[in-house]
């Protein structure tokens, strides 16, 4: 029962935390280093307003050295972020905004695709047993989770998130299988429902 609760709880929290890690951060085009206006004026005068009435997050008015009459906003490649939240999300760390937002989609896809490791782990568990697989996977999950807090490379991060999701999925699956196999037929549904309910809230 305890194994079942812990397995589902770890899986639930693992997928809940990605909403915080990859949460959206308010951003706007970075002010050029040679600009001589204040940050307040930059955001007020040089950031265009979009059709929805909100300041643009991806475009700004930049001084054109060859055409001073050009007032068309230009897409930017560098951004500034809301300092109150910028330090807590991968979006601000690797600039996963505007035309680079596809990289955020890739990171989330890699995160969710890690569950495929459960297929391989299931085959291994059939030969080696459930308990050895759970012990190894639990240790690897701790290591990969800690490692994900210190990576500085985007590619390394999505690889680590992929395997961490896989380890969490395997842990949840294996503990559920053990709970299913070791409970009596009469009490099995109650035990499984209780474990799921306790883990989810």
The mean pLDDT value for 58-83 works out to 75
Asked if residue 70 and residue 146 are part of one domain, the reply reads no
Asked if residue 151 and residue 137 are part of one domain, the reply reads yes
Asked if residue 183 and residue 168 are part of one domain, the reply reads yes
Asked if residue 158 and residue 114 are part of one domain, the reply reads yes
- Please check whether residue 96 lies inside any domain of the structure: no
Asked if residue 192 and residue 114 are part of one domain, the reply reads yes
Residues 6+ apart with CB under 8 A from 178: 3, 4, 130, 131, 134
The mean pLDDT value for 60-75 works out to 67
According to the model, what pLDDT value does residue 69 have? 53
- Please check whether residue 122 lies inside any domain of the structure: yes
Portion of the chain with pLDDT greater than 90, in percent:
18
CB 111 within 8 A of CB 18: yes
**Taking the mean position of all CA atoms in its chain, how far away is CA 19?**
6
| Residue from 46, 40, 21, 10 nearest 138 by CA | 10
Listed range (31-45, 46-60, 61-75, 114-128) with the worst mean pLDDT: 61-75
Helix (H, G, I), strand (E, B) or coil at 163: helix
Q: How many domains does the chain have?
A: 2
Place of tokens 């047993």: 129
According to the model, what pLDDT value does residue 7 have? 60
pLDDT greater at residue 86 or residue 145: 145
- Residue 138 sits in a domain whose CATH number is 1.20.1250.20
Domain that holds residue 54: 27-81
- Please check whether residue 93 lies inside any domain of the structure: no
- Residues 51 and 113: their CA atoms lie apart, in Å, by 36
pLDDT band (50, 70, 90) for residue 199: very low
- Please check whether residue 173 lies inside any domain of the structure: yes
Asked if residue 115 and residue 19 are part of one domain, the reply reads yes
Task: Using the predicted structure, report yes or no on whether residue 9 has a pLDDT greater than 90.
Answer: no
Q: What is the pTM of this model?
A: 0.75
Question: Which whole-number Å values give the CA distances from 160 to 41, 62, 72, 164, 168, in the listed order?
Answer: 41, 39, 42, 6, 12
Alpha-carbon Rg for the chain in angstroms: 24
Q: Where are the alpha helices (DSSP H) in the chain?
A: 2-21, 39-45, 90-93, 101-113, 117-128, 130-148, 154-182, 188-200
pLDDT band (50, 70, 90) for residue 133: confident
Task: Using the predicted structure, report yes or no on whether residue 111 has a pLDDT greater than 90.
Answer: no
């Amino acid at each position: 029962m305890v194994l079942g609760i812990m397995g589902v709880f770890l899986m639930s929290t693992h997928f809940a935390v990605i909403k915080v890690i990859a949460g959206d951060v308010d951003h706007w085009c970075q002010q050029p280093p040679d600009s001589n206006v204040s940050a307040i004026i930059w955001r007020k005068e040089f950031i265009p307003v979009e059709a929805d009435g909100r300041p643009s997050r991806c475009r700004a008015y930049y001084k054109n050295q060859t055409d001073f009459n050009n007032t068309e906003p230009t897409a930017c490649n560098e951004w500034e972020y809301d300092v109150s939240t910028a330090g807590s999300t991968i979006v601000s760390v690797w600039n996963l905004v505007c035309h680079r937002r596809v990289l955020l989609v890739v990171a989330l896809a890699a995160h969710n695709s890690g569950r495929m490791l459960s297929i391989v782990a299931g085959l291994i568990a059939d030969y080696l047993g459930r308990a050895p697989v759970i012990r190894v996977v639990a240790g690897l999950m701790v290591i990969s989770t800690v490692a994900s807090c210190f990576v500085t490379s985007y590619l390394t991060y999505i690889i680590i998130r992929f395997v961490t999701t896989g380890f969490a999925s395997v842990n949840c699956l294996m503990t559920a299988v053990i709970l299913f196999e070791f409970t009596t037929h009469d009490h099995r549904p109650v035990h499984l429902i209780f474990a799921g309910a306790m883990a989810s809230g």
